[in-house]
Amino acid sequence: MKVLVTCPPMLRNLDEFRPRFERRAIEVEAPRVVQALTEPDLMRLVPRCDGWIIGDDPATQAVFAAGKAGRLKAAVKWGVGIDNVDLEAARALGIPITNTPSLFGKEVADLAMAYVAALARQFVAIDRGVRAGDWPKPSGISLEGRTVALVGYGDIGRNTARRLLAAEMRVVAYDPVLVAGKRPPAIDVAVWPERVEEADFVVLTCALTRETRHILNATSLSRMRPGVRIVNVARGALIDEPALLTALESGHVSGAALDVFEEEPLAADSPMRRFDQCVLGSHNGSNTVDAVRRASERAIELLFGFLGVS
């Protein structure tokens, strides 16, 4: 039996997990992956394997069909986001599939909170300046009393809200589940884009769906107060990047901290690199030793269950 692993954080720590496969005489196919493989690469590799632990790869209908025509019996999406996975196609082909939800909320929330602080106090720019031989002292803003528009109130959103409230910030949360159900204490709830005019920060922690794609666009940005700061630790396509670039150029958005982008890795000639007031990440929000171990063990456990391996 053979299992394909295409999730970079798990691949970087694969030696830790290999014994679990070896004890069951399962071979691990471990290609080199920076962010994701291409669809043609996957159509070549997936049919050769009985199981697949998916990263951010284009797990499309074509890939699953190729897998089904070969040896593929089951798949697990490593992590929470499933926007890159055609779940319906997999299930229609009779391929059992799931993800590993609710495992990274605290880790990604830690990063979101760090990004909020970075934009407020400009400590990344200070670091750059000191390294260059300067001694910069930009005036920041205090967090206490500032308003955050928090888009998404799942596991990551809830954990982010706790951290924002601990910093004595006001939180207005946007999530259909909150609108329809019980509202948590200490935060306000609104329907997007109501009340975005109040926001000093907009923090994106929601899933990427048809409804949330480009939820931050020229129209919603224009409603926000001048000097608003944007944080995205969810999915790049939540933001219309040309609209954000325009808002950064005009100064309407004073800064952005982005762990994710529509195209990853970020292109070398991306205009986003021009803005010193931006903090740019590498889609690394969940990548701690503890979280990678937790998610990888869960992904292996789920896949072994699908494959009937004890």
Counting the structural domains of the chain, the total is 2
- Residue entry with tokens 């040896």: 71
Residue 279's alpha-carbon distances to 23, 66, 86, 111, in angstroms, are 44, 40, 32, 12
Range(s) of the domain holding residue 203: 105-280
Shared-domain flag, residues 42 and 177:
no
Query: What CATH number is attached to the domain comprising 71?
Result: 3.40.50.720
Same domain, 232 and 265: yes
Cis peptide bond N-terminal to 226, omega within 30: no
> Are 37 and 145 within one domain?
no
- CA dihedral 214→225→191→218, nearest 10 degrees, is -20
Report the distance separating Cα 257 and Cα 122, nearest Å. Answer: 11
pLDDT at 298: 98
Q: What is the pLDDT of residue 182?
A: 82
- On whether both 127 and 228 belong to a single domain, the answer is yes
pLDDT of 310 reads: 83
Length reported for the chain: 310
Same-domain pairing of 230 and 133 = yes
Closest CA to 169 of 191, 198, 190: 198
Catalytic residue numbers? Answer: 235, 264, 283
Question: pLDDT below 50 — which residues of the chain?
Answer: none
Q: What is the pLDDT of residue 200?
A: 98
Specify the pLDDT at position 143.
Answer: 98
Q: Which two tokens stand for residue 11?
A: 């691949």
Asked if residue 156 and residue 15 are part of one domain, the reply reads: no
Contact yes or no for 286/77 (Cβ under 8 A): no
58 and 160, same domain (yes or no)? no
Same domain, 140 and 264: yes
Considering the domain architecture, whether residues 156 and 272 belong to the same structural domain is answered as: yes
Same domain? For 24 and 6 the reply is yes
CA-nearest of 162, 125, 164, 156 to 235 is: 156
pLDDT in tens, 39-64: 999 999 999 999 999 999 999 999 99
Half-sphere exposure (CA, 13 Å, Cβ side) for 80? 23
The per-residue pLDDT for range 177-186, each reduced to its tens digit, is 998 888 899 9
Shared domain for 267 and 230, answered yes or no, is yes
Residue 271 has a CB neighbour count (10 Å cut-off) of: 12
The Cα–Cα gap between 260 and 254 comes to 18
Q: Which of 71, 80, 120, 107 lies closest to 277 in space, CA to CA?
A: 120
Question: Does 140 lie in the same domain as 68?
Answer: no
pTM: 0.94
The predicted pLDDT at position 196 comes to 98
